[in-house]
Structure 1
Amino acid sequence: MNRQKMSDYKFLRGGGEMGELIRSIDWTATPIGAEETWPTELKIATGIMLSTPFPMYIAWGKEYIQLYNDGYRPILGSTKHPQAMGISTRETFAEIWHIIESMFDGVMEGNAVGFPNFMLPLDRNGYVEECFFDFSYSPISDEDGNIGGVLVTVIEITEKVSRLKELQHTKLDLENAKAETEGQRDQLKRFFMEAPAAICVLNNYDLVFELINPLYQQFFPERQLLGKSVLEALPEIKGSVWDILRSVYDNDTTFEGNELLIPIARYVDGPMENRYFNFIYQPRHNASGKVDGILVFAFEVTDMVNAKKELEKEKDKFKLAILAAELGTFDMDMEKGTMEWDKRCRTLFGIDHQDTVTYEKDFLEGLHPDDKERVSKVIDRVFNKSESNGFYDVEYRTVGVKDQKVRWLRAKGQAYFDEMDRPYRFIGSVLEITDKKQEELRKNDFIAMVSHELKTPLTSLNGYIQMLQIKATKNADTFATGTLNKVTQQVKKMTGMINGFLNVSQIEAGKIPLNKSEFLLNDLIKEVIAACALIAPDHVITDCPCGPLPVYADYDRIEQVMLNLINNAVKYSPNGKQIKIECQLIDEIVRVSVKDEGMGIEPAYVDKLFDRFFRVEGNHTKAIPGFGIGLYLCAEIIQLHEGKIWVESQSGVGSVFYFSIPKLGILSGSL
């Protein structure tokens, strides 16, 4: 099937020259991958970036792959564009990566940063130059709080900084000029008119516009200012900055405004606009040192402020999505020893206080007694990077402190580790699944009831078959004997399926028993191989001899796991192929593998193999019987033994199923 054109994606439409460049790139050749696989949060951020004239760019993923808009293009100069699009920020800004790397890494951990007037030495036009920026780095995260990249909003103020420096000189020159002669005043006026900043001089108590340079006049095109008082020329400011001007004059104090909102029209009788300015009001003194006017230095920053507001709106949308999904969120700082829960998370745990929550008092004590030990072990594994990579996904019950209500929750999250693989932060979300869980429990109760009812007639049927087999043998009726043998096999299959459903019901109800004892796992494996060799004569089943491996486990349940894995290897591989079983001891953990040379598993199905009732869909699997509960049972049995189970597979080559359990002596409660 042909790949969809990038122009068909709504989030990639428009964007001017950079939009065209983005659409021309083969993103499958980059770490970001094909456009149809982009995460929702990346699509939203890209759409916002392309739809705004404000300079923005995105650094996505661990490689910080870049996308940027037309507004950002000039910042790259003549040597970095267009090759910067689609490559790593590390490569594009190699000369300053030692400065900004920690900032990017901090944002990927959830720490947004922003700096005004920040200098960076950039080589963007064939030489290194000092460049100044007002910028912010913000995390791009999904509804669960997982951060995928960095959104950069930036205004280059290199020219403004240069202008500001010149303004400082201007102010000094002005102070000196006040004591100069009338002839020098003309020279000062020329300097004002050529200054690279918006400047005006307001004279005497009425604050009359005595001097206005071209840049200041551009704030109010076609409006007559010179010779008029501020209130006469700009009557709109009476309710905003007039009191500030009066205070500067009356109290002889300087005022600096940063992103100050001033509703004002650009033209006479024009519409009122919400405009934002950075400015300085500086008292002007006469020869006797008394205030006789005000010097004004101003920059309009409306575009930058509006861009910030748009970003805040997008953040609010993400928050709204979390609220709509009724998710609770948590954030655990391992270094500070603090834990933060939002209001929804507190509700799901039935907490009635507004104090700081703690792991021991509020989380562990809020768990159902039957789930507390299991969840604690899951979290211990989450905090062990080698076992879980920090991923957290578990279902449990809570008992409300105030209402004593039992709720089923599903929690998902991520632990983050430092360079020593020590966890320092744990964040995630919780979702109530009480209704879904109760429905599952009702289904399991029904399955258990039906399975028990079916076992009674099957037992009687098996007895009648045995009687008929004895009679057929006595009468030397070979046809009847063969037919009854086939019927017996079918009854055994049905019995096995019913037992499987019973096991599922027991697992879901948390009632599956474990009868643990000490035994040698290598002996069990030999017995299983011998039994399977009789029922699968068309396959070569071998094992790699290993030394004694003592374990403290349920013999029958581990045997059930081995039989299931070997039977699957037989079912899904052609006759004559080899099935190889290996066992070994690795760091006090016993690991067993079952390798086949069968059809293998598509990558898309690997993560779902151990889900209840899941079966790989395909023409090559339709003829293979099963209900998708075998591997689910194996996973639950191994988990009850505090072990792990996983698979490595390649389609068309074969699969290797692994499970591991602790060696005798290291299990909690074992000898």
Structure 2
Amino acid sequence: MKTAAHLFTSEKLLDILFLSQNATAVYTGEDIIIQTANDVMIHYWGKTRDVIGLPLETAVPELKGQPFLGLLQNVWRTGNSYEASETAADLLIDGKIKTFYFDFLYRAVKDENGKVDCILHTATDVTERVAGRELVEAAMAQKIVLDTEQTLNEQLISSNEDLRLAQTSLNMLNEELEERVQSRTKALTESERRLRSLMTHAPVAIGVLTGRELFIESANAKILQVWGKTAAIVGQRLAEALPELQGQPFLQLLDDVFTTGQPCYSDEAKALLEHEGVLKTYYFNFLYQPILNEAGVTESIFIVATDLTEQVKTRQEVEQSEEMQRFTIEAAGVGTWQFYPDSNELTLSSRFKEIFGFKEDEEISFERVLSKIPQDERQGIEQAITNAVTGGIKYNVEHPVDGFED
């Protein structure tokens, strides 16, 4: 008895693979030919899908003089994968060279003989995370400078008073010292102005909370937009300005930071915020960085946050769509399978096992599935799968299946 199999097409399998939110590309050869790349990777490059099939150096010429092409060629020659974090890359976006930061992996995918078949490239844009950390570090360094300047000013003023009382003949020296104080005070004021300007125009949400009661000392336009408030809340306690935070974890997290002096960082934290009288759901990456005085006691907390609401909701919609697709497939009685060439892992649905005559609870290898395909059909199926995985080519293949096993 032979049963026609209802299989996912290779096109559908690649479509599902490239739904990943991580940027993904596949390269082959010493010249690093782009065999395929998902939309996220194409977006990172600032290109169109016309680059598929080109050498990476031709498709993204601004990579010349940067380390990435050499790293990829070394992975191809040696078969040793390469991984790095927060690496700077200069890319041509909208006609301008811009610097981005990525976590990435160049994984060497080998055949059964240990020879490199292709390189799987996955990447995550961490530019905002790096920029936020650098901004915090700059702000903390600026705080140290300001504290040092203030201490010097106080010392100079005290010295002036002592000199006036002790020696009236040193008036000229006092005047000189006072001029220095004024000059340093002016420099201090300018430093504060620059820091506030940096915070005001930063592309991420920034605020400063002072004291254990978390008074809002400053808030840039971005964080006011995130909170759904105006500058009128500056000077208020955070709990009064945003009463909807009661019952959410953020006030307690801030209190813990104030107590311990340890920073707090979170990815994709869910928050309910009131905008125009309506309570809405948002998602953020945020950092609570304590600012300590000379005694090591927390005086204030520096907040940096990035709004990820659109990205998270888009991913959730994709996940819901995939779940609905799974329900539809099961309802239609279609058998499905997933094969991961780099690990040789195979996953079969219950309907697929039924179509191929396998038992529900038995472990099935990829070779065993191929053995159910008649010999005269098998080589063509194997070649179609190989081409789909390594070349980004879609296939729709029909073939008979050998009879059920006892």
What is the TM-score normalised by the length of structure 1?
0.37
Match of 1:246 among 243, 246, 255: 255
In structure 2, which of residues 263, 272, 275 is the aligned counterpart of residue 266 of structure 1?
275
Summarize deviations over 1:432-461 as a string: whole Å, max 9, x none.
xxxxxxxxxxxxxxxxxxxxxxxxxxxxxx
Find the residue that maps to 1:397 and give its secondary structure: coil
Match of 2:224 in 1: 217
The aligned residue for residue 293 of structure 2 is 286
Identity within the alignment, %: 19
- Secondary structure of the corresponding residue to residue 168 of structure 1: helix
> How far apart in 1 are the matches of 2:359 and 2:259?
56
Give the superposition deviation at 1:224: 3.2
Cα distance in structure 1, aligned partners of 2:387 and 2:102: 38
Which residue among 142, 148, 158 is the counterpart of 1:173? 142
Q: Name the residue aligned to 1:327.
A: 334
Which residue among 35, 57, 60 is the counterpart of 1:93? Answer: 60
Higher relative contact order (CA 8 A, sep 6+): 2
Q: Does residue 375 of structure 2 align to residue 377 of structure 1?
A: yes
| Cα pair 2:219 2:231 within 8 Å, conserved | no
1:335–1:292 CA distance, 2 compared to 1 (3 A): closer
Number of the residue aligned with 2:207:
200
Deviations 1:504-531 (A, max 9, x none): xxxxxxxxxxxxxxxxxxxxxxxxxxxx
- SS of 1:265's partner is strand
Kindly indicate whether the alpha-carbon contact (under 8 Å) linking 2:136 and 2:302 is maintained by their aligned counterparts in 1: no
Aligned counterpart for 1:229 among listed residues 237, 248, 267: 237
Mapped to 2, the partners of 1:162 and 1:311 lie a distance apart of 28
Give the 3 Å change call, closer, same or farther, for CA 224–129 of structure 1 in structure 2: closer
How do 1:347-386 residues align onto structure 2 when only pairs under 5 Å count? Answer: 347-348=354-355, 349=357, 351-353=359-361, 356-358=363-365, 375=373, 377-378=375-376, 381-382=379-380, 385=383
Q: Which runs of 5+ in 1 are unaligned?
A: 1-38, 49-53, 104-114, 137-152, 365-371, 401-671
Counterparts in 2 of 1:239 and 1:346: CA distance versus 1, 3 Å: farther
Compute the displacement of 1:126 (Å): 6.4
Q: 1:65 touches 1:87 (CA, 8 Å); kept in 2?
A: no
> Structure 2 vs 1, CA of residues 357 and 85 (structure 1 numbering), >3 Å: closer, same or farther?
closer
2:401 to 377, 395, 398: 395
Letter in 2 for 1:230: L
- Kindly indicate which of the two structures has a greater share of residues assigned to helix: 2
Residue 233 of structure 1 aligns with an amino acid whose one-letter code is: A
Shift of 1:238: 2.2
Specify the code of the residue in structure 2 equivalent to 1:381: Q
Aligned pair partner of 1:312 in 311, 314, 319: 319
Q: Using a 3 Å threshold, how does the CA distance of structure 1 residues 178 and 271 change in structure 2: closer, same or farther?
A: farther
Contact 1:264 1:275 in 2 (8 A): yes
Residue 96 of structure 1: how far off its partner (Å): 4.2
In structure 2, runs of 5+ residues without a counterpart are 1-10, 27-33, 73-83, 106-121, 152-184, 389-396
Match of 2:283 in 1: 276
SS of equivalent to 2:275? coil
Cα gap change, 1:75/1:238 in structure 2, threshold over 3 Å: closer, same or farther? farther
For residues 40 and 234 of structure 1, do their structure 2 counterparts lie closer, same or farther at Cα, with a shift above 3 Å needed? same
For 2:279 and 2:405, locate their aligned partners in 1 and report how far apart those are by CA, in whole Å.
57
Q: 1:237 to 1:66 in 2, by over 3 A?
A: closer
Once residues 270 and 59 of structure 2 are traced to their aligned partners in structure 1, the CA distance between those partners, rounded to angstroms, is: 37
Runs (4 or more) in structure 1 with deviation over 6 Å come to: 39-44, 56-59, 65-68, 133-136, 153-157
TM-score, with length taken from structure 2: 0.57
Q: Displacement, 1:264?
A: 0.8
Does the 8 A contact of 2:45 with 2:92 survive in 1?
no
Deviation at 1:249, TM superposition (A): 1.6
Matches within 5 A, 1:389-428: 393-399=399-405
Q: In the TM superposition, what whole-angstrom CA distance separates every residue of 1:312-341 from its partner, at most 9, and x where no partner exists? A: 233334333422322222345677555432
| 1:397 Cα offset (Å) | 3.0
Name the CA distance, whole Å, in 1 between partners of 2:102 and 2:53: 17
Match of 2:302 in 1: 295
1:254 Cα deviation after fit: 0.9
Aligned partner of 1:130 in structure 2 is 99
**Distance change (3 Å), C-alpha of 1:290 and 1:117:** same
